[in-house]
Structure 1
Amino acid sequence: MTLSKPSLHVLQVLPALNSGGVERGTVEFANELVLRGHRSTVMSNGGQLVKELENNGSTHLLVPVHKKSLTSLLQVRRVRHILNELKPDVIHVRSRAPAWIIWLAWRKLPKENRPRLVSTFHGMYSVNKYSAIMAKAEHCIAISNCVQDYMLTNYEIPPSKITRIYRGLDPKSFNSNACNPQWRASLLQEYPELENKKIILMPGRLSRWKGQEAFIKMMHLLIQIRPDCHGVIVGSAEPQKEHYQSELLSLTSSLGLENNISFMGHRSDIQAFYGFADVTCHMSNKAEPFGRTVPEALACGCPVVAFDRGGASESLNAGFPKGLVEPDNIQAFAQRIAELLDTHPEFYLPKEFYLNQQVDNTLGVYEKLLSNEEQAN
């Protein structure tokens, strides 16, 4: 679909283009811009997603904007020169370190020639001068209501300067056909212990705050109610934190769950796991800014049970409120899963959690800024 309005040149800036929610979201947004007839450029220190980005029609600028160091300021003059050459209509910064470089370069441009400057708060950043750079943009996007509330509470940002836009997922990747018979047969051949079981999925990198320990303890309770359940943990440990996986394996063994929980490691086919599972779990022990696994699972036709807090609570409240459980109550969590397994719950994912809506809303922010001649200081 191409917009009837004049095409824009959008420059997105982030530290790198490796794996991660922000990185993947940047590439998906860039691809959509191109499909709609806009010019898309991304500035980063590079990474494994650059090839996909360029293959889909965007331009990548390799600039070391990733370092959280004063030496990064040496890039300001170079970046100012790039901005003068590129002349983008909008600069969209998605992280703090590159935001500093961009802002210092941008503010020295003649006001009449400045691109419009937008930032997205992808998290609830620590409150300090370093993080405050994200609030210096002309307009700020919050990825959830809880992030917006955090911004209003901790930064001096007028409410009129913030727009809440949920991160949108691509329906071509996340849909009810995500798990096909061939994939299912291949998985069961590799993991025969999953055959004829109710699959309880726990996706996410292995990290203490993501809740894998709570999941294992919850599975210990659930197995006593429903012996036909099998837990599946998809995700790998962060670099230098591989010992956490050993702790999880020890906990699994100590609870006698070696035959009831499978560790899959990192997988690039998570959407198929959503389609394969009977229930997906979200058990982070603190509020997540968004909690992308919740809408992803719902889009793939899998009900979700989650602790009632943070961004995960927002998407589940919108599409499947029955899945919400009192935070940190693993007994109630296990009971809720058992209840869902005995029913055929109805749920859906509202359009505001899809990529098309995210792009529409973000372009709306750009167009509103571009139609307003008042520039920020």
Structure 2
Amino acid sequence: MKKNTVQKDLPLGLYIHIPFCRSKCAYCDFYSLAGAEERMDDYCRALERHLAEVAPQAECHKADTVYFGGGTPSYLGAERLCRLLGSIRKLYKVDKHAEITLEANPDSATDRKALKRLRKAGFNRLSLGVQSMDDALLQTIGRIHTRQQVQEAVAAARKAGFKNLSLDLIYGLPGQTMEGWEKTLSDAVGLHPEHLSCYGLKLEEGTPLYRRQGELTFPDEDMQADMYLYAVEFLKQCGYEQYEISNFAKPGFASRHNLKYWLMQEYAGFGPGAHSDFGNVRYGYARDLERYLKGELVLQESETVDSDEREREYLMLRLRTVQGVDPREFEYRFRQRFAPLAALLQQCAREGLAEQDGNGWHLTAKGFLVSNRIIGLLQDELAREKNRRLEAAARGDYRVV
């Protein structure tokens, strides 16, 4: 008789939320706080308590990605960041080849000595929030860095030994023209990053930019679409492979941590506002720094994810990737027929929105522009198919089931 075996070293991503910023950007809806520097040390202690509390649940896991996001994690300073990473290594099994990412604003990432210390501590991927290479646009959206500081940060990172560098860019900014977007892309590529993220601006309710939309001129939907399609083609010509709607990388440099989200792999988040999908439970912590500092891990949401939700999630997340959906994997994993979904995707293919290859179905660049509509139609069809199966079972017609 075989003994039950416990799986070991299951891959796990760790997300560490750092909510501090030097100033709040006009478009930002993330949980971040400006002018709270005096709470940084208390926050680091609270994070270490939180990490220690969750660690026993991860005994069978090995962290293969660690991601410090924010906020502006680099604003925390090298000493605190290195201490936090050291605590993670003590509390968790961390793969020796783990991808360890630090988000940074260019204005707080020009100190080569600090960057060298971070690199020596184990941070091996730097993600710079560039957003634009136009100083006037940067001022309009409340960014406090300049184009020159972007160049200085990249140079400092390279001298410090970072060989995996990512730049975040935004298109659809107020007053932005196609020519301006083309120049930002060209300037960014000229810095030779290994990875680029290109996000369309979303006006989030409650942000300063949302309140000012009546006095500012934004590119319309058609212009935003043209900007996106230009980025896809231009970056392809420059040797960047698109692997997700908004993400492009040189071969071998796709963000392993970000892919965990799209491929439905496990990740655990720490800090107020952080989210997790761990142990088949999806949960998020309340955006409340003061309660977190007191050691109160207040859940804003928590749900055990059932198979129906995982099916819908699979379609939504996989169709954000260039890899797309594998019908064989879908049927094996969820015991559901893919044929009704394939019929819809074939219609999308006739409209130039989807393509079929040897591994399954994926959306085209044009399809990505309307991905929410396509995914919604597929999820509706999935629900209808389930209802047909249930009705057939109730009739005793198991040929349909």
Asked if TM exceeds 0.5, the reply is no
More strand by share: 2
TM-score range, shorter-chain basis?
Answer: 0.3 to 0.5
